[in-house]
Structure 1
Amino acid sequence: MGKAAREVSARERIKAQREKEHAQQQRRRLATIITSVVVVLAVVGGGWWYVQSGKSETLSGDLAPISLAADGSTVMAKPGVTKPVLDIYEDFQCPACKAFEQTSSATVKNMAAAGQVKVVYHVVNIFTQEPTLGNTTRASAAARCVPGGGQWMAFHDRIYKEQPPETKQGFALDDLVAWGKDAGVTDPGFAQCVKTQKYAQTQADYNKKIIDSKVFEGTPTLRLDGKEIDNKIAFSPSSLRQTILDAAK
């Protein structure tokens, strides 16, 4: 084997090892999140504390305005609300992110609507192998085809509802188009944008920038005014609400 071939082989082994380590890290993080949720459910009297103070909220009304930021993130906040800032790093294919949506998303939305927090969504792609890589790429690029507003959030939430297992191909382009229409997207260019994956490279560039910044190690990651929030808090709606309120003092 020549020198060039050996170098290529070495790079491939390093890449494979990194992908293996990343997958293991994600499994450990998901296990931690699941454990945190179970602990919350189990605290005091077989779940009584959870039922009393940690249950998921329901949406209380209209959402705060939602807009696409110049840096590629999506902002949900009432006019004039600049702090505290809650950054949410999420991947549409991530099962733990779906669990967060089911558990604490309503709390975040309610607090933003009440002018108590500015929320910044960072949609990233953490998977590096198929079918999850293709799934998350298609979904995140499609989300960029939605101009913002309540339509963006409705589409965002629908994607999580339709999340496929990590071992199966999903988020088909035709389905994404249909879900967008169901979410109220009326832009005549939406279907073409999704089907051509117009923003796939834009999303890839944004994803690289976020990953290179090392602001998160796995998804979901919540940062409040730059400080990472523990999973036990993130997955307990009442604790998350109080933590955000405390940051505003």
Structure 2
Amino acid sequence: MSEKNREGKRTARERLAEEREKQKSAEKRRRVLIVGGAVVCVLALAAVIGVLAAGSGKDDTDTAGPVTAPSGANGEDSLAIPVGKESAKSTLTVWEDFRCPACKSFEDAYRATIHELTDSGQLKVEYHLATLIDGNMGGSGSLRAANAAACAQGAGKFPAYHDVLFRNQPPETDDAFADNGKLVELAGKVDGLDTPAFRQCVDDGTHDSWVAESNKAFQSGGFSGTPTVLLNGKNIYQDQTMTPAKLKQLVRQADAA
């Protein structure tokens, strides 16, 4: 065999060996990519499961525990805070959120009239507390303020503290009521409310689960938003002709009937 032929066969063998090495390297890279991709998929799946698990428990995190209604609460499942005399012939049912600007507008316009009618024994009001803004805007100010208001009910100071919260309502995007210290500070505006018992009730979130149940009742009630105001079962907030004077007239007519 000539030197030229031997060189040709050696070159062919080398080319074949190189091709085999390339195939081995390619196969190795393919296995690495498959295994790596599987790891990424598992990690991604674990991340998704983690997010879903966190999301599914989010609403219950701050409201887990026994449902403790404030003293004097009445109505179905004791979810209403009553104000006024039980003997009143007219009942005003009010669904409110302490972070809700429209609720503040309603309170500012009707506060004096409602006080006049409840003080005279012609009207009783049943307040239901919702946390709509917490759900829409994020934060916990609606929940924290509602719990504090329920604590005030336990101290016999709900009407005054209710009014203080609305008079001092922060802007809708400002979750200032999430700070228990702010709620306690505002309690100082109500004579006799800022006590160790009230502070502990606020800090412990004693009525958080009760507020959560109240909000569930609001969501399942088919209401369009807060405030929802019903006079003897009729939605008067949707009445474009309603005024404080008309409310007073309707209550007095029912009282005289």
- Asked if Structure 1 and Structure 2 have the same fold, meaning a TM-score greater than 0.5 normalized by the shorter chain, the answer is yes
1:152 aligned to which of 146, 153, 158: 158
**Deviations along 1:23-67, whole A, 9 cap, x unmatched?**
xxxxxxxxxxxxxxxxxxxxxxxxxxxxxxxxxxxxxxxxxxx95
Shift of 1:150: 6.1
Opposite residue 245 of structure 2, the aligned amino acid is S
Q: Which residue of 2 aligns with 1:88?
A: 94
Q: Cα–Cα, structure 1 residues 240 and 164, in superposed 2: closer, same or farther, change >3 Å?
A: same
Q: Counterpart of 2:24? A: none
**Shift of the alpha carbon at 1:187?**
4.4
> Are 1:219 and 2:226 counterparts?
yes
Residue 69 of structure 1 is matched in structure 2 by 74
Distance (whole Å) between structure 2 residues aligned to residue 239 and residue 129 of structure 1: 33
| Superposition map of 1:62-141 within 5 A | 67-69=72-74, 71-81=78-88, 83-127=89-133, 128-131=135-138, 133-141=139-147
Counterpart amino acid of residue 101 in structure 1: E
Rg (Cα) greater in structure: 2
1:91 Cα deviation (Å)? 0.9
**C-alpha separation in 1, matches of 2:131 and 2:164:** 18
What is the deviation of 1:159? 0.8
Percent identity for Structure 1 against Structure 2: 33
Contact 2:95–2:127 at 8 Å: present in 1 too?
yes
CA distance in 2, matches of 1:125, 1:210: 9
Q: Which structure 1 segments of 5+ residues have no match?
A: 16-65
Query: How does the TM-score come out when normalised to structure 2?
Result: 0.65
Shift of 1:139: 0.5
Give 1:237's aligned residue.
244
Give yes or no for contact 2:93–2:231 (8 Å, CA) kept in 1: yes
1:142 is aligned to 148
- State the Cα distance separating 1:87 from its structure 2 match: 0.6
* SS of equivalent to 1:223: strand
Cα pair distance change 1:67/1:232, threshold 3 Å: farther
Find the counterpart in structure 2 of residue 204 from structure 1: 212
After TM superposition, the score normalised by the length of structure 1 is 0.67
Q: Which residue is 1:48 aligned to?
A: none
Please give the secondary structure, in 2, of the residue aligned with 1:232.
coil
Q: Is contact 1:67–1:76 with CA below 8 Å preserved after alignment?
A: no
- Asked whether 1:190 is paired with 2:208, we answer no
> More helix per residue: 1 or 2?
2
The residue aligned with 1:175 is 182
Cα offsets for 1:172-228 (capped at 9, x unmatched) = 2101012123312154311111122221122101210232122x2111111111111
Residue pair 2:164, 2:189 contacting (<8 A) in 1 also: no
Question: CA offsets, 1:81-133, max 9 Å, x none?
Answer: 2x2111111111111110111111111110111111121111211121444x4
Divergent runs of 4+, >4 A: none
Gaps of 5+ in 2: 1-40, 56-70
Q: Give the count of matched residue pairs.
A: 189
2:91·2:123 contact (CA, 8 Å) conserved in 1? yes
Change (3 A) 1:212 1:89: same
